[in-house]
Amino acid sequence: MTTVTEAIARAHREQWARVVATLARRYGDLDIAEEMAAEAFAAAVERWPADGVPPSPGAWLTVTADRRALDRIRREAKRGRKHQEALMLSDATEPEPLGVIDDDRLRLVFTCCHPALAMEARVALTLRMVGGLTVPEIAAAFLVQETAMSRRITRAKTKIKAARIPYRVPSREDLAARVTGVLTVLFLIFNEGYLSSDPDKDAVRADLTAEAIRLTRLVRDLMPADGEVAGLLALMLLTEARRASRVSAGGELVALAEQDRGAWNRELIAEGHALVRARLASGQRPGRYQILAAVNAVHTDARDVRDTDWSQIVALYDQLAALDPSPIVRLNRAIALAELDGPEVALAEVEPLPLDGYHLFHATRADLLRRLGRSQESRAAYDRAIGLAVNTAEQAYLIRRRDQLAGP
């Protein structure tokens, strides 16, 4: 019985997206694809314990879902509703091969992450259609009412159908921008899991980072040649590797310099490093995620914080600033610069940044001012940072740092 349960769970993990994607292509309808995939898995739960696990679970599930879809369409045709030809999402003009695997699942990913959909709809739809999470699971992960989440997904599906958002890998001219869009969705899912601190929701949120990594692995399998996909996966792995040491038992954020590096996940770090090395070896100009992954590779390479190669990190942020001259990139560069050239140089870089509403700007100023012995200014900056931070673990950390300041 347990082995059957495991087989069903594994099939769900490995085959859900494939079943949905195949049906979506065949019937041109995400609703039918989603519902029939769910029915096929329900049928597996019912039948596999008695009949045994079929030799090819994926094929069994697809055939079962397909049969049910046909039944449903026939039933509806009989009721006088117009028989829908499978044209709605399908695409007569196949794009030329792009060096990517033309997998139905990839079409599904691009459709769910279409830029004409609101970002929150893209996230929800990707988790439902590609990830196979249930609506209650997604609602819980984003702290949204189930009915609201259900509406959000339904609205997105309706728009896809009515506006004819195509079910295909984008054309060459759109591809780069659309891949970036997909990665944004995946990174958002990851960060939603990673940056949360609500202790009651922790378990669900941890699932979300795992889910983001799983989805990114899938996209990487589908687009193995894309450097940014590899970069994002590496970035996630190297971040996830530090999860256990990132929050203390007392629920306080632990700064990178103070983390127990022995508790970092060596396996994830090794995988992340291998990805970063492969990207470096490719000789191609890295994009944003590859650079951020490289920064994290430098951090996770150091057995002790004092061994960190800060000049390498500053150089990487210089590279990133050339792609994206945003103040946040410059803030991160300044934090690394403080380790290289001291807090005074860094503070001069930080002060003019237009980030007054950003808690990390004030937290960084507070730390630099503390190191310069300017306690009073540091305290004021900590106060601003604490007021702006929403994450309770981060607040706890900042409060402790503030209260450790010398003098009144």
Partner 1 sequence: MAQYLMSVLTDSTELATEAEMETIDVFNDQLIANGHWVFAGGLASPATATVVDGRDGEPVLTDGPYVESKEHIAGFWIIEAADLDVALRLAGQGSKACNRRVEVRPVLQEDQADQADQA
Alpha helices in 142-256 (DSSP H): 146-162, 172-194, 202-222, 227-240, 243-246
Place of tokens 């697809």: 62
Helix (H) / strand (E) element for 2: namely: helix 2-27
Q: At what angle do helices 343-350 and 359-371 cross, to 10 degrees?
A: 150
Among 35, 91, 301, 309, binds partner 1 (CB under 8 A): 91
Q: What's the closest the beta carbon of residue 265 comes to partner 1, in angstroms?
A: 40
Nearer CB in complex with partner 1: 117/320: 117
3-class SS of residue 134: coil
Residue of the chain from 2, 50, 55, 82 that contacts partner 1 (CB under 8 A): 82
Cβ proximity to partner 1, 164 vs 303, nearer residue: 164
Which pair of tokens denotes residue 194? 């990673």
Single residue of 57, 166, 231, 343 touching partner 1 by CB under 8 A: 166
Letters for 146-165 (x = contact with partner 1 by CB under 8 A, - = none) are --------xx--xx-xxxxx
* Nearest-angstrom CA–CA distance, 247 and 275: 26
Helix, strand, coil distribution of the chain in percent, nearest 5: 75, 0, 25
Q: Which one, 113 or 269, has the nearer CB to partner 1?
A: 113
Q: In angstroms, rounded to a whole number, what is the distance separating the alpha carbons of residues 379 and 402?
A: 6
- CB 170 → partner 1: shortest distance, Å? 7
User: Taking CB under 8 A as the criterion, which residues in 172-201 touch partner 1?
Assistant: 174
Report 306-365 residues binding partner 1 (CB under 8 A).
none
Q: Residue 391 interacts with partner 1 (CB under 8 A)?
A: no
Q: What's the CA gap between 400 and 206, in Å, rounded?
A: 26
Name every residue whose Cβ is closer than 8 Å to that of residue 190 and which is 6 or more positions away in sequence.
208, 209, 212, 213, 216, 236, 239
Q: Which of 81, 266, 277, 303 binds partner 1 (CB under 8 A)?
A: 81
Cα–Cα dist 93/168, whole Å: 10
One-letter amino acid for residue 324 of the chain: D
Q: Does 96 bind partner 1 (CB under 8 A)?
A: no
Alpha-carbon distance of 397 to 371, in angstroms, equals 17
Residue 48 or 110 with smaller CB distance to partner 1: 110
**Nearest distance from C-beta of residue 84 to partner 1, angstroms:** 6
114 binding partner 1? (CB under 8 A): yes
Q: Residue 113 or residue 314: which is nearer to partner 1 going by CB?
A: 113
Least distance to partner 1, CB of residue 29, Å: 10
In whole angstroms, how close is the CB of 88 to partner 1 at the nearest point? 8
Nearer to partner 1, 119 or 280 (CB): 119
Residues that bind partner 1 (CB under 8 A): 81-82, 84-85, 88, 91-93, 114, 116, 154-155, 158-159, 161-166, 170-171, 174
